C-alpha cells in the first residue's frame, strides 16, 4: 500500500507534529469524506506500507525530523512551487524561500526522491503566458540539479473556481501549446525531465512526457526497489498514477490557495483547523459515539527485487 500524506491537505506545512506522531505510534485513523461515521485505521508500519508519499508547498516545519520517517520507510516527495504570489496563494512562502527549502530537502533525501510540481498553470490578467515562461525558466535554472523531474498541469475549471477566482481566464489551445513549447525548451536547456499530470493531451512534440506522477516504476526507481506489475487505475480521469490511501482530510488546509481543489471554502478550512489535536489519531477531532472503525486491507505490493543503488538511469 502507498500512503499519501498530502493530497487532501498540506500535512507537512500545518500538521507536522501530528504526522510524525502517527508514524511513531504506528497507526492513523481517517474519516470517510462521504460517510463521516465510517473511520478507517491504517497501520503505519514498514511491513504494511510500501512507500510514503509527501506533497507540500513548504517542507520547513518537518525537515529537522523528517529522518524519523525516511529512516524506516521508502519515500517520495512532491514540492509545489509556482509563479503565484499571496494574491493567489496567501499562505505559501515566497518563491525564493521555496527554492531554498527544496534544495535542503534534496540534500537530505536525494534528488531522485524529489519532484518539483509547477501546477496548476492558470491565466489571469497578471499571470500571463509570458510571465509563466519567464518565472519557470528562472526557477528551472536553480532547481534542475536538485530534482528528479518537473510535473505541471493546466488548471481544471471547476464550478467553484468561478466564485473563488472570477478573474480566472481559460487556457485556450493556442496558449497551451505556447506554454508547452516554451516550458519544453526551457526544460531541455537545463536537462530537466518534464511531464504533464492527469491529462491525455499529447505534448510529446515539445519533449514533454504524459505519464502518471505516482507510478510504481517511479517510486521503485527512487528507492531502489522493483515492484510486481500492477494496474495503475488512477485517481481521476486522465490520471495514470498508482492508487494511494490519503490520511488527510478535505477542507482542512489553511493555505487559502484560491484555485484549491481540496477546499470547498477557505473559511471552512480555517474553522476546521481549530479542531486539530496533535495527540489525536484523527487529523480533525476525535472519535465520537457511533463511529465505526475498521481496519484497512493493507496487503503490500510484492517486491521482486531490491537494488543496491536507488539512482537508476532513465526518466
pLDDT of residue 73: 95
Helix (H) or strand (E) holding 195: strand 194-196
Per-residue pLDDT, 309: 47
Residue 241 sits at φ, ψ, to 5 deg, of -85, 160
What is d(CA 151, CA 211) in angstroms, rounded to the nearest whole number? Answer: 10
At what angle are helices 173-189 and 129-143 packed, to 10 degrees?
20
pLDDT (0 to 100) of residue 299: 82
pLDDT at 235: 58
Supply the pLDDT for residue 282.
98
Residue 30 has what pLDDT?
Answer: 98
One DSSP character per residue, 76-138 reads: EEEEE--S--TTT-TTSPPHHHHHHHHHHHHHHH-GGGEEEEEEEE-B-SSS-HHHHHHHHHH
pLDDT at position 313:
37
Q: Cβ–Cβ contacts within 10 Å for residue 170, how many? A: 12
Q: What is the pLDDT of residues 129-156, one digit of tens each?
A: 999 999 999 999 999 999 999 999 999 8
pLDDT < 70: residue spans in the chain: 198, 230-240, 302-315
Q: Report residue 99: phi and psi, to 5°.
A: -60, -45
List b or e across 75-107, with b for residues whose CB sees 16 or more CB atoms inside 10 angstroms: bbbbbbbbbbeeebbebbbebeebbebbbebbe
pLDDT score recorded for residue 315:
38
The predicted model scores a pTM of: 0.92
How far is residue 149 CA from its own chain's centroid?
Answer: 13
Place of cell 466564485: 163
Q: What CA–CA distance (Å, rounded) separates 65 from 49?
A: 19
Amino acid at each position: 500500500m502507498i500512503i499519501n500524506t498530502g493530497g487532501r491537505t498540506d500535512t507537512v506545512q500545518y500538521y507536522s507534529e501530528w504526522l510524525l506522531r502517527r508514524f511513531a505510534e504506528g497507526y492513523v485513523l481517517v474519516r470517510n469524506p462521504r460517510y463521516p461515521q465510517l473511520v478507517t485505521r491504517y497501520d503505519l508500519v514498514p511491513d504494511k506500507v510500501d512507500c510514503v508519499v509527501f506533497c507540500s508547498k513548504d517542507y520547513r516545519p518537518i525537515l529537522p525530523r523528517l529522518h524519523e520517517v525516511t529512516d524506516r520507510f521508502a519515500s517520495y516527495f512532491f514540492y509545489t512551487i509556482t509563479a503565484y504570489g499571496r494574491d493567489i496563494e496567501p499562505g505559501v512562502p515566497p518563491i525564493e524561500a521555496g527554492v531554498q527549502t527544496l534544495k535542503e530537502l534534496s540534500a537530505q533525501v536525494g534528488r531522485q526522491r524529489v519532484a518539483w510540481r509547477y501546477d496548476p498553470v492558470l491565466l489571469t490578467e497578471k499571470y500571463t503566458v509570458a510571465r509563466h515562461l519567464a518565472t519557470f525558466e528562472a526557477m528551472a535554472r536553480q532547481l534542475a540539479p536538485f530534482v528528479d523531474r518537473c510535473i505541471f498541469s493546466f488548471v481544471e475549471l471547476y464550478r467553484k473556481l468561478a466564485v473563488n477566482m472570477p478573474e480566472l481566464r481559460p487556457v485556450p489551445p493556442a496558449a497551451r501549446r505556447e506554454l508547452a513549447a516554451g516550458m519544453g525548451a526551457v526544460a531541455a536547456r537545463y536537462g530537466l525531465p518534464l511531464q504533464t499530470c492527469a491529462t491525455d493531451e499529447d505534448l510529446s512534440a515539445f519533449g514533454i512526457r504524459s505519464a502518471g506522477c505516482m507510478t510504481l516504476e517511479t517510486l521503485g526507481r527512487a528507492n531502489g526497489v522493483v515492484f510486481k506489475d500492477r494496474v495503475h487505475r488512477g485517481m481521476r480521469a486522465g490520471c495514470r498514477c498508482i492508487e494511494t490511501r490519503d490520511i488527510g482530510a478535505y477542507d482542512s488546509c489553511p493555505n487559502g490557495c484560491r484555485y484549491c481543489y481540496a477546499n470547498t471554502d477557505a473559511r471552512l478550512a480555517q474553522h476546521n483547523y481549530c479542531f486539530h489535536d496533535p495527540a489525536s489519531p484523527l487529523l480533525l477531532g476525535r472519535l465520537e459515539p457511533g463511529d465505526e472503525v475498521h481496519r484497512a486491507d493493507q496487503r503490500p505490493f510484492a517486491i521482486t527485487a531490491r537494488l543496491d543503488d536507488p539512482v537508476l538511469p532513465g526518466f
